[in-house]
Amino acid sequence: MEKNKKNPFFKPFNTKYDAIPFDKIKREHFIPAFEVAMKKGKEEIAEITNLKKRPTFENTILPYETSGELLDRVATTYFNLYNSESDDKFKSLAQKISPKLAAYKNSILLDDDLFQRIKKVYNNSNSADLNIEQRRLLEEIYLNFVRNGANLSEDKKEKLKEIDQQLSKLSPKFSQNLLASTNQFKLHIKDEKKLEGLPESAIVCAAETARKNGKKDGWMLTLQIPSVQPVLKYAKNRELREKITKAYKSRAYKDKYDNREILKEIASLRKKRAELLGYNTHADYILERRMAKNLSTVDEFLERIYQVALPKAKEELAEIKKYAKENDSIEDFSAWDLSYYSEKVKKQKYNFDEEEVRPYLKVENVVSGLFKVAEKLYGLKFKKTDKIPVYNSSVNTYEVFDEEENFIGILYMDLFPRETKRSGAWMTTYRIQGLQGNEIKTPQVSVNANLTPSTENSPSLLNLDEARTIFHEFGHALHALLSGCTYTTLASPNVYWDFVELPSQIMENWLYQKETLDLFARHYKSGDKIPQELVNKIKAVEKYNKGLANIRQLSFNYLDLGWHAKNIKDIEDATKYEDKLLEKTRLLTKVKDTNRSCSFAHVFAGGYAAGYYSYKWAEVLEADAFEMFKEKGFFDRDTANSFKNNILSKGNSQNPERLFKKFRGREPDPDALLKKDGLL
């Protein structure tokens, strides 16, 4: 009990805006916090089931919606830190925490007394005086119980619990293996000639990485994206490109962190779980609650892109191969040549080198640009503060206010790589907007990335792709910050997964507009605005190699659906199976001893299983939606307000098709993406 008194989760945070006191939270606080929070959550559920009164929205649905607040806060804090700031000891807690959470979730979703009360409210909803949002909440809660086994027999419920327990351990293990495998690769180079062709910024970063890893001289390459991408795009040394390609594509494969058996087990268990619930595959289970609705719709959607993109991709690849052969006598064109010679062709065709843009994209200026765009569109103001605790000194925090100076949320910006942080970029929430206890709480949102860091002699200067990534994740952040729902279950970004990428992907478009770049793109030394000529080049290369880009994305979709929409019970060799799935998108000879599935964290350690198609689906929505801004003006406030009021603020309070139609005035144009990419 004395220990619990010191546990920050068991008392008011006493921080500004009730922010998480990261400076007070220690690893040993989590297990006790989970145990107490689960006990409290069960007591809250018991209060509902013990009621003798007739079940109503007010005495059943509402208290269920607001139950488990402490557990949500503890779990959200733990798993966000697990991704952003954790060592092996911290990660190992997941093997204890995840099974307990799975058991807790099942104890509620399979509680028949609770379900019968919810079911009665649902069955009598037509006679109840409920508003649109209340009806939506009731429907979502009822279906969540049904889709998680509430109607199963007792023996099947036990099987479901067993499967969920197993899955709760496997996904964290997949993630741990991938991070450990990524971190174990460190290539120390002493001969600078091997780095010929790399931009100065990449060479400086490699030298800094070497120093940070205790090397007195030389350069160090890792498998973090800011290290990998410059090598593949610019390194003249073909052997170096090959080495990095093979290392990156074989993460968590055939080493001590091999994920093959884990991913097979995850896929198999997901299939068994779906069958237990009455579905043929995990994909059928997932797609029932998506805009796409079923597998045939997804298949047709992807096939339409494939048929248009494949001929273009072959044409683009032929052009790149031809350049490599004519200029460097490359007869055996391989995967490690694609990015390198693609850049060469791009430079020849458009007189454009991405490194020309980097001096204008100092990270502080890009962040400032994001805020200016949000201000011009939605009237938001971002004020940097040091009054909110952070989990790492490199994290910046901002108070976010609306046009009337009302506080609407906290924004954390965590932008650079660390060995304690997973790769990639993502937006997450520490608290979702909506009703908690007796009041509507403001959101606490975090943007996370692994961008090119600063060095002793140079600030962090981003390439165009890195800047696009931050615009993308900031779009997700705006979705969460501008949520205007009553209930957290329905609040943004808790929307259908093939709708959730619309706010992020539409945001990328502003980066390519001169009006936007003029707000922040200044040369980090001279202060000069980015020249119009360079902006014209950026615009011109937007459609470059879109055939190849679409085929690459489709390959991930086919991989995802192959593991989740097929009968995968008897697969022995994960690599042979993967090779079959990728055959129709393979344009180059496969790199020997590599495996994509072993590092496909989106679907095996994230929430995109049977849903990776949602990136392409949302690209169609955003391409069509952004046409409105093109027609009315990139910073037209009426259009922006319509997007905010019909999309960003509404969460899942209404059907996404209806929300999109309200904004656009019609159904989305299915060919909008292909037109935008110049493929039609």
Same domain, 84 and 222: no
The domain boundary, picked from 106, 135, 151, lies at: 151
Same domain, 107 and 238: no
Q: Which residues pair with 220 in a beta bridge?
A: 188
Q: What is the pLDDT of residue 658?
A: 95
Known catalytic residues are: 473
| 540 falls within a domain | no
Spatial separation of the C-alpha atoms in residues 538 and 549, rounded to whole Å: 17
The domain boundary, picked from 128, 151, 174, lies at: 151
Same domain, 12 and 123: yes
| 23 falls within a domain | yes
- Read off the CATH number of the domain in which 135 is found: 1.10.1370.40
Closest CA to 176 of 83, 62, 107: 83
- List, run by run, the mean pLDDT of 10-residue segments along the chain (680 residues): 78 96 96 97 97 96 97 97 93 94 96 97 92 97 97 96 96 94 96 95 93 94 94 97 98 97 96 97 96 96 97 98 98 98 96 92 97 98 98 98 97 95 94 95 98 89 95 98 98 95 96 95 96 93 95 97 87 93 97 97 93 94 96 97 98 96 94 92
pTM for the model stands at 0.93
Same domain, 211 and 128: no
Spatial separation of the C-alpha atoms in residues 52 and 627, rounded to whole Å: 55
Same domain, 128 and 201: no
Same domain, 12 and 146: yes
Q: What is the pLDDT of residue 127?
A: 83
Extract the tokens encoding 569.
Answer: 């019970």
The alpha-carbon radius of gyration of the chain (Å, integer) is 25
Same domain, 100 and 44: yes
| 133 falls within a domain | yes
Spatial separation of the C-alpha atoms in residues 378 and 403, rounded to whole Å: 8
Q: What is the DSSP secondary structure assignment for residue 605, as one 8-state letter?
A: T
Closest CA to 253 of 573, 577, 593: 593
| 263 falls within a domain | no
Q: Which residues of 269-305 are buried (b: 16+ CB within 10 A; e: fewer)?
A: bbbbbbebbebebbbbbbbeebbbeebeebbebbeeb
Q: What is the pLDDT of residue 3?
A: 59
Residue 590, class by beta-carbon neighbours within 10 Å (0-12 exposed, 13-18 middle, 19+ buried)?
middle
Q: What is the pLDDT of residue 267?
A: 96
| 73 falls within a domain | yes
Q: Which residues of 49-63 are buried (b: 16+ CB within 10 A; e: fewer)?
A: eeeeeebebebbbbe
Contact, 219 vs 206, CB < 8 A? yes
Amino acid at 39: K
| Domain extent for 230 | 185-249
Same domain, 9 and 140: yes
Backbone φ and ψ of 384, nearest 5°: -65, 140
The domain boundary, picked from 229, 249, 269, lies at: 249
| 76 falls within a domain | yes
Q: What is the pLDDT of residue 175?
A: 93
Same domain, 35 and 132: yes
Spatial separation of the C-alpha atoms in residues 353 and 143, rounded to whole Å: 52
Contact, 609 vs 603, CB < 8 A? yes
Q: According to DSSP H, which parts of 565-613 are helical?
A: 574-581, 601-604
Spatial separation of the C-alpha atoms in residues 568 and 68, rounded to whole Å: 36
| 140 falls within a domain | yes
Residue 334, class by beta-carbon neighbours within 10 Å (0-12 exposed, 13-18 middle, 19+ buried)?
middle
Q: Which residues of 381-390 are buried (b: 16+ CB within 10 A; e: fewer)?
A: ebeeeeebbb
Extract the tokens encoding 629.
Answer: 């801004």
Contact, 349 vs 456, CB < 8 A? no
Q: What is the pLDDT of residue 109?
A: 97
| 405 falls within a domain | no
Give me the residue label for tokens 């924004």: 411
Q: Taking the CB of residue 658, how many other CB atoms lie within 10 A of it?
A: 10
Extract the tokens encoding 352.
Answer: 């454009």
Domain count, the chain: 2
Same domain, 63 and 118: yes
Longest CA–CA separation in the chain, Å = 83
Same domain, 101 and 223: no
Same domain, 9 and 80: yes
Spatial separation of the C-alpha atoms in residues 484 and 265, rounded to whole Å: 40
Question: CA dist 295 to 308, 542, 562, 671, 673, Å?
Answer: 20, 31, 12, 19, 20
